[in-house]
Structure 1
Amino acid sequence: MEFRRIEESIFKALMILSLVFVVGSLLFVVGVILWRGLPVLSFDMVTKTGEGGYLLGKGGGILNAIIGSLYLA
């Protein structure tokens, strides 16, 4: 009976360690995205429609992509 309690404690500790690792990884990825993305995000980029050369560094926005994502959701 004592073996089961030890085994349960070990696996509970492993589950908690796994949870901390997964949540920490998720927060790290979201943090890096926000850290690199927020300085270049502007209101015009979100509210304007894309133009022909948006992917080449020219003007435009992502409004069509946002509306399409909302439509599919």
Structure 2
Amino acid sequence: MNGRLPVVVFANGTGMQYYKYKAVFEHLASWGFVVIGNDDKESWSGLSSSQSLAVPDNLNSNKNSLF
């Protein structure tokens, strides 16, 4: 691999906790995806997904970061 990893931000259904999707996360990760989820009970707006994506994005822009 060239040091790049694809990222999937998983927006859980409103009222559904991320751990209910554990098998899906593990399946995607087994194919080389970095999978990010959160436990936002009001995920309808996409705000928490956007904030979740900002974490690896910020890490990626830091040249001293592992990411």
What is the TM-score when the length of structure 1 is the normalising length? 0.27
Higher helix share: 1
Structure with more contact order per residue of length (Cα contacts < 8 Å, sep ≥ 6): 2
Higher strand share: 2
Q: Whose Rg is larger?
A: 1
What is the TM-score when the length of structure 2 is the normalising length? 0.29
